Structure 1
């Protein structure tokens, strides 16, 4: 492939010159922008520019589209639409801030001749896996095609320097703009509209919006009320109330469920549509709700994509906004009251006492500002003789610079996208623990003076945010990979951590300060089902402790796991929706049935009889579950979106003859499949049980 004289550095300089000119005199936006577009179109080295574009297109075409059955043919769009190439990854909070902008651009302009292509450019090892990227895409319901640049070949070829980065190309393959960083990408639409006008005669919109990624029927919006067909997907955080209730946030469903500790669901909070609406629980809306905490019999919610703190009152069954304007904030000091104060991507919450007057405050891990903020329920004294005014919200930890810097002065410390926070005890003193995700560290803050120190993970260099891994140990010798959830167990003085991108639960013993893996994956299938002390996690996220139980939001499995800390057992927590939702959930779905045929005298084990997983043709899990009753009759397993292409069912069964039980596993294809139902049949004879011993 020939080397073009035009490169990204030149591209960057040209765009920068335009932006600088507009910044000097914003009234000349149209004049400067039109002159820029005309100048590009009149260049005599157009072949070199197109060669630059073609090389990028070829790199993109060599990658796999993450979404299954998308129907997207990228090569058909490169010469008829305006191409917007969006470099992002799912761990990066700046990508999160701009993702809503990109979704909006796709929805508004895809029929006008704009094609958005997401190029996922990973930082972490966990992000290189296509299945994990696909989960992130599904969680956010991205409407445009995303390719998995797991080896960063497109990123390196372009010479990207920062996330997010956006490139815009014309239908004539001329490069037009490069926007780098969150602040520039936020203004993308201002420049895209003139480009559409400039290319009006040559842009051809795809027929019937063919490039949009089609959501499954269960993901389609319904109007005005809670969807009876929508599943709860991607649980994020968990709160156990003083009355012994559970509240769980679901980022994929944009809802909360409020239930009894045994799983009986009392309320579903939110319509399930992404939005920001207060009101009664059937009408209110959230956008990617995360952290939860109880105060004064109400649940406080970190409504991340709305950049707001919301409050759910289970008694009045209403939701109101406490903090935030609904727009991304840039303020790193604060001090305004309630909804006047803009904030950025709140992720987790906890209630703590002022070390001086013992009044309670709401602490917020503000991932978007790399800080910890405090909301004062009443006038409160804080560090450095600061008085937090009643109903005000202010930064109390972190300079706002993204780094891994410890300090005796809390406002000069550097955090990196903190996503978890909890109270605890260390050396007999009350402290705060922070899961500082992008530095892959756990930080500890002494409450009496605000001193910020490292507990485990990361690197001694405060500017190095690229040290991560999976290693037990103490201090910097321990390695984590993007930890998120954190909870302190006071009776045992153990700090529990979800090491999210290592798919592990870890704990730090406060006596030894050693971080060790806990409840690890084991090859013993019985352990994987939770009969002893092991389980499979897939991005474990928020955690909460109630008595001797640890609840974990196993996000990508869309499960809640419950660990008995006394017994060392782990089970999937079940929820009973029978008194909350209409049980008829077949709209837009097909029912999946399983029939098990056992030769005499075989029978399934009483109680936990086995597990099953239904997979699509790419080998990705559609749904899974357990068989918990003694039966060989036809069993309804789950409801599956009608457009899902089901390939197979994997199973593991405990089959018994008298008192002798053995594990039987295998794979079966659908025996029958229609638009409304799919049936699997498992046949087991005595030879299989003998061979499996």
Structure 2
């Protein structure tokens, strides 16, 4: 653990040596171990991440241009500190590193030892270490690329002049990837012709397969990441696919909507011609601003799955924990459900909390969904009320069948309604297909031993499963296959923060990037929202304010979770610049807390900069 006092930018009052990384081993280094002390002369960026976390995946993409720009001076190291039990499996981590095209060394921290040594409180957290081995900057959440660019630029200038900067290659060694027809596919739907339309995620394509799940009829996309419309299209990690009703398709000129996840777009696909068009999104990730309006003028945030329900396409907006609504006939996008607060809270759709919704399925009466981060199966009924069938919250998971009240999942990514009205769940991190009966509220297991199943479709009376980490479609369920598993319950091992009951000072630390200042030209530059689970944990101090610090009053209950969402707007601090660069930084924390008479009276959360 360490504490650092920093005033402005990289002008330090205290110099604190970055602790060596302690954990299980390395990936993407050609089998070599790496020590921070041997990287003196390089600027080192530690990215504390876990592969279940969509915010962490956003940061991987944010860092790519920086890694290219500073290739000869910057060494990025992904420190993988897992949330779920499955993520601590070294084989699962190797698969994730390939799946998300991680192009820097990755350190395996399965017991969160390095996480605790660096006093990390949120995924993702970025720690910048200077060429002499001292921590100079910490940032949690997304949107820090410009701040990092400026701090790295200052470090290059400072240490080049001191002679302590060494240019050259870093320790990254690209792994060898196996070639398969499908590579980490995500979802599948059945077309009116009885074929399977599959989102071939790592191959950045959509593939049409015959009903056998193996024979390739055609590939739409050329296996390379990109963004291109037309008859030779390009995608970036597509995931969900929704078929439009035939009358709607005839009017709009495309048959299917594809969630083009990393491009933050919805794409229309004409199945007759193979032509692809962009139908919603700007290509920029939503951070703040309008959520309703013309479809191609509204930012989206990692659309993960899509399904037609009632009068439009419902979009699982995993990146900001909401559901969107796309009306292809009116060419409009709107917010359908959620507040952007991550959690498990049932209410009318506009007030409910979601947590990285990753799978959707619909009947006429209900919209079914799985929230991966709360390991939950939920539904929305016709009066637009949200209900939870299975799930306890952000920190509870496992593999347990039986009554839904005590049943547990582990990071499910897919859901489908079966012909008998029961609900099949792709229980991804348990490697299983689970079944929920809405009539009896019983949960059972239909299949196990699958490599990260992420999508389900029914075809010719059979259940087709997209087994993502096995890179294929499987039919693992035979008639009568069903079992009850009384597995272990797990909780996220992240250690809770001990706080004292009563008044606690909550402080979100944020310093604008070098050369920028907080931007209040269009209203308050900062925003802080605080809620809690259970709600009675917060006696006083809940709600939204424009200050990044607040006195909160905590009840004397055993434990709970503080949900904190903060954002800050900053712009170039130079009146001579006609069009200043502006950035919005945003982060949400789910901080597990435990009440203790010896607990802290101050809770600092670093969004950007350093805590005094």
Bin the TM-score by the shorter chain.
0.7 to 0.9
Superposed counterparts of 1:158-237, under 5 Å = 158-184=118-144, 187-200=147-160, 201-206=163-168, 209-216=169-176, 231-237=181-187
- Contact 2:2/2:117 (8 A) holds in 1: no
Taking a change above 3 Å as real, the CA distance of residues 548 and 285 of structure 1, as seen in their structure-2 partners, is: same
Partner of 2:462: 549
Q: Post-superposition shift, 1:260?
A: 2.5
What is the alpha-carbon distance in structure 2 between the residues aligned to residue 215 and residue 247 of structure 1?
30
What is the alpha-carbon distance in structure 2 between the residues aligned to residue 541 and residue 404 of structure 1?
21
Secondary structure class of the residue paired with 1:235: coil
CA RMSD of aligned residues (A): 2.2
Say if 2:347 is the partner of 1:421.
no
Say if 2:345 is the partner of 1:405.
yes
Which of 1 and 2 has greater Rg? 1
1:252 to 168, 191, 202: 202
Taking a change above 3 Å as real, the CA distance of residues 396 and 242 of structure 1, as seen in their structure-2 partners, is: same
Superposed counterparts of 1:270-285, under 5 Å = 270-281=221-232, 284-285=233-234
Partner of 1:69: 30
What does the per-residue CA deviation read over 1:138-189, in whole Å, with 9 as the maximum and x for residues that have no partner?
1112110001100000001111111111111111112211111224466422
Taking a change above 3 Å as real, the CA distance of residues 503 and 561 of structure 1, as seen in their structure-2 partners, is: same
Q: Post-superposition shift, 1:10?
A: 2.7
Say if 2:443 is the partner of 1:515.
yes
Superposed counterparts of 1:562-601, under 5 Å = 562-563=475-476, 566=479
Q: Post-superposition shift, 1:337?
A: 1.3
Taking a change above 3 Å as real, the CA distance of residues 542 and 190 of structure 1, as seen in their structure-2 partners, is: farther
- Contact 1:72/1:211 (8 A) holds in 2: no
Partner of 1:152: 112
Superposed counterparts of 1:308-319, under 5 Å = 308-319=265-276
Taking a change above 3 Å as real, the CA distance of residues 498 and 71 of structure 1, as seen in their structure-2 partners, is: same
Q: Post-superposition shift, 1:424?
A: 3.0
- Contact 1:103/1:142 (8 A) holds in 2: no
What is the alpha-carbon distance in structure 2 between the residues aligned to residue 338 and residue 160 of structure 1?
38
Superposed counterparts of 1:7-406, under 5 Å = 8-11=2-5, 14=6, 18=8, 36-37=9-10, 39-40=11-12, 46=15, 49-50=16-17, 53=18, 56-57=19-20, 59-60=21-22, 62-67=23-28, 69-71=30-32, 73-75=34-36, 77-111=38-72, 113-184=73-144, 187-200=147-160, 201-206=163-168, 209-216=169-176, 231-262=181-212, 263-281=214-232, 284-295=233-244, 296=249, 298-331=255-288, 334-353=291-310, 360-378=311-329, 390-406=330-346
- Contact 1:98/1:186 (8 A) holds in 2: no
Superposed counterparts of 1:484-633, under 5 Å = 484-489=413-418, 491-520=419-448, 536-563=449-476, 566=479
- Contact 1:410/1:452 (8 A) holds in 2: yes
What is the alpha-carbon distance in structure 1 between the residues aligned to residue 35 and residue 433 of structure 2?
40
What is the alpha-carbon distance in structure 1 between the residues aligned to residue 93 and residue 216 of structure 2?
31
Q: Post-superposition shift, 1:302?
A: 0.7
What is the alpha-carbon distance in structure 2 between the residues aligned to residue 502 and residue 230 of structure 1?
24
What is the alpha-carbon distance in structure 1 between the residues aligned to residue 350 and residue 181 of structure 2?
42
- Contact 1:331/1:343 (8 A) holds in 2: no
Taking a change above 3 Å as real, the CA distance of residues 270 and 70 of structure 1, as seen in their structure-2 partners, is: farther
Secondary structure class of the residue paired with 1:325: coil
Secondary structure class of the residue paired with 1:154: helix
Taking a change above 3 Å as real, the CA distance of residues 72 and 211 of structure 1, as seen in their structure-2 partners, is: farther
Larger deviation, residues 438-447 vs 468-477:
468-477
Q: Post-superposition shift, 1:66?
A: 2.8
Q: Post-superposition shift, 1:331?
A: 4.2
- Contact 1:299/1:311 (8 A) holds in 2: yes
What is the alpha-carbon distance in structure 1 between the residues aligned to residue 406 and residue 289 of structure 2?
32
Q: Post-superposition shift, 1:519?
A: 2.0
Say if 2:367 is the partner of 1:435.
no
What does the per-residue CA deviation read over 1:323-342, in whole Å, with 9 as the maximum and x for residues that have no partner?
11111112476222121110
- Contact 1:235/1:250 (8 A) holds in 2: yes
The answer for unaligned runs of 5 or more in structure 2 is 483-612
Secondary structure class of the residue paired with 1:253: coil
Partner of 2:525: none
Q: Post-superposition shift, 1:312?
A: 1.9
Q: Post-superposition shift, 1:129?
A: 1.1
Taking a change above 3 Å as real, the CA distance of residues 77 and 304 of structure 1, as seen in their structure-2 partners, is: farther
Instruction: Normalising by structure 2, report the TM-score.
Output: 0.73
What is the alpha-carbon distance in structure 1 between the residues aligned to residue 403 and residue 28 of structure 2?
40
Taking a change above 3 Å as real, the CA distance of residues 474 and 67 of structure 1, as seen in their structure-2 partners, is: farther
- Contact 1:422/1:487 (8 A) holds in 2: yes
Total equivalences in the alignment: 471
* Runs of 4+ with deviation above 6 angstroms: none
What is the alpha-carbon distance in structure 1 between the residues aligned to residue 476 and residue 24 of structure 2?
40
Secondary structure class of the residue paired with 1:10: coil
What is the alpha-carbon distance in structure 1 between the residues aligned to residue 445 and residue 271 of structure 2?
37
Instruction: Normalising by structure 1, report the TM-score.
Output: 0.65
Taking a change above 3 Å as real, the CA distance of residues 320 and 77 of structure 1, as seen in their structure-2 partners, is: farther
Q: Post-superposition shift, 1:568?
A: 5.2
- Contact 1:142/1:213 (8 A) holds in 2: no
- Contact 1:166/1:185 (8 A) holds in 2: no
Q: Greater relative contact order (Cα 8 A, min sep 6): structure 1 or 2? A: 2
Taking a change above 3 Å as real, the CA distance of residues 217 and 290 of structure 1, as seen in their structure-2 partners, is: closer
What is the alpha-carbon distance in structure 1 between the residues aligned to residue 165 and residue 287 of structure 2?
37
Secondary structure class of the residue paired with 1:280: coil
Secondary structure class of the residue paired with 1:182: coil
What is the alpha-carbon distance in structure 2 between the residues aligned to residue 230 and residue 261 of structure 1?
19
Greater share of residues in helix? 1
